[in-house]
């Protein structure tokens, strides 16, 4: 019989065990589920292993966290022994290839999810150091677990697996790869935010079901036959997409149009990937996840995790994004539908943050992928092909949640012990989501002096391919921002994010971006070279040389030296601040330098 491990006291909960000694201290001879992760174990709701582990624990399972196993040694994956039910491999909070390499392919020297930012195992006398996080961590971990324990089901998930669930273009090898479910030889893949699908899968395996016998929403399995599937959407096979770019474009468009609504099938080898429709959470279900008790700190074996320092006093208010940006993987992972927590749930977490040791009075963020999408809904209940913002012109059926979001921020600021509530996650500047009342409130009460915005480019052609608002929408936003700034009397500035080398950008478009930044008085170093992430439309353009869904030819610059030169030209240009003397622009260069020391 499974023992209920729910926390019933108000004291911070004990950490989930990470070693055999910690298991023994609890009186366990085995875990029900072992979650392997390349991230340092931080028991905070912004970290995947904590959310998944606490959720399973709440439902009565004994969960162990295998944090940063020494993956070159297969036996290290048995640190907690073989689990009673299943191994779970979480790829971590971010894609391993993105964390391990810069856009130009150079190995990174830092990993924000490792002790002190050090990405290497490096103990005295161990000889040559190697990375804590291997490339393609999901596949590596799954392979090593399979080599030492073949008689337990293996579940994979996280953003790395989610974005590789069908045949996909991989920019690091410049080839089309098959589904990671097959490369990892896993039993089941959970895509999206996976607490509830994972729970259902664990329950199924506990009953003795095989993966092929389960049809769990937000999961994918391998099947030799397609019996019992009712009119699935069939994509061109992996072999066809690898051999023929037209087949790849067809597969991508079918996948995108499906929007995870219908059963999807793609042949990989002698078997097929079968993906079941996405499971959308209710507000009550999302509240239940974030109402769980967390220690809200790193496990004692870790001292300084940079990613934790950044988000320690921040709060997730919602999931999903309907921005449909071509280069962004959030919608493919979390889905386009916004699911927001109730105000009461968020305020309960604010109270827990205030009570945590070391809190200094500032909630650093209350937001999500786009903070001001909180509480946004659709009058019709949703479309088959959602395009809520329409590149600057909002769909008439969109119901923004700006009033609810401002009420939430002000209610959080009124909690005893809170001095300030800031918004530091991304903000959409579309008028529908950032009306004058919202913008004025943010400027007066909820930004620290810098507002990070993402025009992404100053070329309307590139912005159209990005599925972002045209330049005129940003220009109007900046005028409104300056007006609010003057009225408030505060000294504020805009810090822009710009993508260099997005498909469609040539020298002419780069010059348009340079002129745009000068005209708007914007400066900074938040300029990133385009990184082709699997399963995004921009990556398909990068691979094909044309838009897979419209056929429009798209210029693609892949020479890294050219892209690095373009980026440096934007950074080193001399903005004409004299053109704009409002407080939003006169301090922008100084403010950005200060933030990048």
Residues 544-592: tens digit of each pLDDT: 999 999 999 999 999 999 999 999 999 887 544 433 433 333 322 323 3
Tell me what pLDDT residue 183 has: 97
With bands split at pLDDT 50, 70 and 90, how would you rate the model's confidence at 391?
confident
Tell me what pLDDT residue 387 has: 85
Tell me what pLDDT residue 582 has: 37
With bands split at pLDDT 50, 70 and 90, how would you rate the model's confidence at 378?
very high
Tell me what pLDDT residue 578 has: 35
- Give the contacts of 67 (CB within 8 A, at least 6 positions apart): 18, 37, 39, 40, 41, 49, 299, 301
* DSSP element (H, E) containing 551: none
Task: State pLDDT tens for residues 266-319.
Answer: 999 999 999 999 999 999 999 999 999 999 999 999 999 999 999 999 999 999
With bands split at pLDDT 50, 70 and 90, how would you rate the model's confidence at 127?
low
In 3D, which of 51, 33, 28 has the Cα closest to residue 41? 51
With bands split at pLDDT 50, 70 and 90, how would you rate the model's confidence at 526?
confident
Tell me what pLDDT residue 10 has: 58
CB contact at 8 A, 168 and 176: yes
Q: Helices 245-258 & 537-544, crossing angle to 10 degrees?
A: 170
Domains 20-219 and 313-448 fall in the same CATH topology = no
What is the third-level CATH fold of 20-219? Rossmann fold (3.40.50)
CB contact at 8 A, 397 and 386: no
What is the third-level CATH fold of 313-448? Transcription Regulator spoIIAA (3.30.750)
Domain ranges of the chain: 20-219, 313-448, 449-597
Strand partners, 121: 130
* DSSP element (H, E) containing 563: helix 560-572
Question: Measured between alpha carbons, how far is 154 from 214 in angstroms, rounded to an integer?
Answer: 14
Q: Which CATH number fits domain 449-597: 3.40.50.720, 3.40.50.150, 3.30.750.200, 3.30.1380.20?
A: 3.30.750.200
The two tokens of residue 93 are 């909070």
Rounded to the nearest angstrom, the gap between the alpha carbon of residue 397 and the centroid of all alpha carbons in its chain is 27
Q: Dmax of the chain from CA atoms?
A: 73
- Give the contacts of 86 (CB within 8 A, at least 6 positions apart): 33, 152, 153, 154, 155, 201, 202, 205
Task: State pLDDT tens for residues 434-457.
Answer: 999 999 999 999 998 888 899 999
With bands split at pLDDT 50, 70 and 90, how would you rate the model's confidence at 383?
confident
Q: Which of left, alpha, beta for 335 (phi over 0: left; psi -120 to 50: alpha)?
A: left
With bands split at pLDDT 50, 70 and 90, how would you rate the model's confidence at 6?
very low
Tell me what pLDDT residue 125 has: 55
The total of other beta-carbon atoms located within 10 Å of residue 245's CB is 17
Task: State pLDDT tens for residues 249-273.
Answer: 999 999 999 999 999 999 999 999 9
């Amino acid at each position: 019989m499974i023992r209920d491990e729910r926390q019933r006291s108000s004291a911070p909960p004990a950490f989930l065990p990470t070693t055999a000694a910690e298991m023994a201290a609890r009186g366990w001879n085995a875990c029900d589920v072992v979650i392997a992760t390349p991230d340092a174990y931080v028991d905070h709701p912004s970290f995947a292993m904590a959310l998944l582990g606490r959720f399973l624990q709440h439902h009565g399972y004994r969960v162990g966290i295998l944090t940063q196993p020494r993956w070159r040694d297969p036996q290290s994956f048995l640190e907690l022994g073989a689990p009673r039910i299943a191994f779970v491999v979480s790829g971590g909070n971010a894609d391993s290839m993105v964390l391990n390499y810069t856009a130009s392919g150079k190995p990174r020297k830092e990993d924000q999810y490792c002790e002190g930012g050090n990405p290497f195992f490096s103990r005295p006398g161990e000889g040559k150091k190697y990375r804590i996080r291997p490339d393609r961590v999901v596949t590596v971990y799954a392979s090593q677990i399979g080599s030492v324990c073949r008689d337990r089901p293996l579940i994979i998930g996280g953003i790395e697996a989610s974005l590789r669930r069908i045949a996909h273009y991989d920019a690091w090898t410049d080839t089309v790869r098959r589904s990671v479910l097959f490369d990892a030889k896993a039993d089941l893949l959970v895509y999206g935010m996976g607490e509830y699908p994972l729970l259902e899968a664990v329950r199924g395996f506990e009953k003795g079901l095989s993966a092929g016998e389960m049809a769990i929403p937000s999961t994918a399995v391998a099947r030799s036959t397609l019996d019992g599937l009712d009119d699935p959407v069939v994509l061109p096979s992996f072999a066809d997409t690898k051999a023929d770019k037209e087949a790849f474009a067809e597969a991508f468009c079918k996948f995108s149009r499906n929007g995870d609504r219908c059963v999807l099938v793609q042949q990989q080898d002698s078997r097929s990937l079968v993906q079941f429709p996405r499971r959308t959470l209710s507000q009550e279900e999302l509240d239940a996840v974030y109402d769980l008790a967390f220690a809200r700190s790193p496990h004692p074996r870790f001292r300084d995790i940079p990613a934790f320092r950044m988000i320690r006093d921040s709060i997730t208010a919602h999931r999903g994004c309907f921005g449909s940006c071509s280069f962004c993987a959030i919608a493919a992972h979390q889905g386009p539908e916004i699911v927001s927590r109730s105000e009461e749930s968020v305020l309960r977490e604010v109270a827990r943050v205030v009570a945590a040791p070391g809190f200094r009075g500032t909630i650093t963020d209350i937001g999500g992928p786009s903070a001001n999408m909180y509480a946004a809904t659709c009058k019709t209940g949703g479309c088959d092909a959602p395009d809520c913002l329409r590149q600057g012109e909002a769909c008439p059926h969109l119901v923004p949640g700006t009033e609810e979001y401002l009420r939430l921020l002000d209610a959080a600021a009124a909690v005893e012990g809170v001095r300030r509530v800031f918004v530091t996650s991304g903000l959409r500047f579309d008028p529908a989501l950032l009306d004058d009342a919202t913008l004025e409130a943010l400027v007066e009460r909820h930004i620290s002096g810098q507002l990070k915005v993402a025009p992404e480019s100053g070329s309307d052609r590139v912005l159209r391919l990005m599925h972002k608002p045209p330049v005129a929408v940003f220009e109007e936003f900046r005028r409104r921002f300056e007006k609010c700034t003057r009225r408030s009397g505060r000294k504020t500035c805009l810090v822009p994010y710009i993508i260099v080398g997005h498909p469609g950008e040539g020298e002419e478009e780069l010059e348009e971006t340079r002129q745009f930044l000068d005209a708007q008085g914007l400066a900074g170093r938040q300029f990133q070279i385009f990184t082709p992430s699997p399963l995004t439309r921009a990556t398909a353009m990068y691979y094909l040389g044309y838009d897979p869904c419209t056929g429009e030819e798209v210029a693609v610059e892949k020479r890294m030296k050219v892209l690095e030169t373009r980026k440096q030209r934007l950074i080193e240009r001399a903005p004409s601040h004299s053109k704009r003397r409002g407080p939003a622009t006169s301090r922008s260069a100084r403010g950005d330098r200060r933030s990048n020391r």
